């Protein structure tokens, strides 16, 4: 309920449904909030998958896969609906602008915020396909988890994108809850993943 309540606090339903542009803007925001929130639980499940499956059963891994597909669907719909929104406000259909137009020296701050969103989407694409094709070759079976670790980067970059440009991210209580989610994942990276990477590095150096 947090996600629709947050979106409705910004745009009441009678205004959200008034025009095609407001409908697409409303849906785009909801899908963005949902993708960010679901990715928080997705990453925690992945980080502690072995312990969770031991205690709760194999269904946890099956749910993890289903949730990953759902997250990617939402993440894909988010820019697609933004493209439709741009069309309805007279800017035409321009997939390049919403998927590819990354800038390193952007003319405006907004350009950087959109760039963060695009980078997070393409990194998410890599991690999703790494998981999906994890058994497709010996190399993938050996390395897919290394690629899947980029989910942490995706979440942190997508979070920056949301907090910097997302209207709903600034609305309470989502703002506070979102900061807590961001801090938790950052803590997992610092206290769990980085030590593992460091140990693996030492093993590699000594081998």
CATH number at residue 145: 1.20.120
The torsion angles phi and psi of 145, rounded to 5 degrees, stand at -65, -35
User: For the chain, what is the radius of gyration of the CA atoms?
Assistant: 19
- Which range of residues forms the domain containing residue 195? 2-206
Q: Cis (ω within 30 of 0) for the bond into 173? A: yes
Cα distance between residue 17 and residue 184, in whole Å: 35
Confidence of residue 141 (pLDDT cuts 50, 70, 90): confident
Cα distance between residue 22 and residue 88, in whole Å: 9
Q: Which residue has the tokens 């991690």?
A: 127
Cα distance between residue 205 and residue 207, in whole Å: 6
For the chain, the average pLDDT equals 91
pLDDT in tens, 13-36: 999 999 999 999 999 999 999 999
Q: How many domains does the chain have?
A: 1
Return the structure tokens found at 193. Answer: 């993943």
Lowest mean pLDDT among 79-93, 109-123, 127-141: 127-141
pLDDT at 86: 95
SS3 of residue 35 by DSSP: helix
């Amino acid at each position: 309920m947090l996600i629709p309540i947050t979106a409705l606090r910004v745009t009441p339903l009678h205004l959200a449904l008034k025009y095609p542009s407001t409908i697409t803007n409303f849906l785009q925001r909801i899908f963005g909030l949902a993708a960010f929130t679901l990715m928080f639980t997705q990453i925690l499940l992945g980080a502690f998958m072995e312990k969770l499956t031991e205690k709760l059963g194999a269904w946890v891994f099956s749910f993890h896969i289903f949730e990953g597909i759902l997250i990617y669907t939402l993440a894909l719909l988010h820019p697609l609906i933004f493209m439709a929104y741009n069309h309805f406000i007279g800017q035409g259909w321009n997939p390049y602008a919403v998927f590819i137009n990354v800038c390193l020296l952007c003319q405006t701050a907004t350009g950087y915020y959109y760039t963060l969103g695009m980078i997070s989407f393409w990194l998410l694409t890599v991690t999703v396909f790494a998981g999906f094709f994890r058994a497709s070759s010996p190399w993938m079976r050996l390395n897919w988890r290394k690629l899947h670790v980029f989910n942490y980067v995706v979440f942190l970059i997508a979070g920056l994108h949301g907090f910097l440009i997302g209207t709903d991210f600034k609305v309470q209580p989502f703002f506070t809850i979102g900061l807590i989610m961001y801090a938790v994942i950052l803590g997992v990276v610092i206290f769990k993943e980085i030590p593992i990477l460091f140990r693996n590095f030492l093993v590699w150096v000594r081998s």
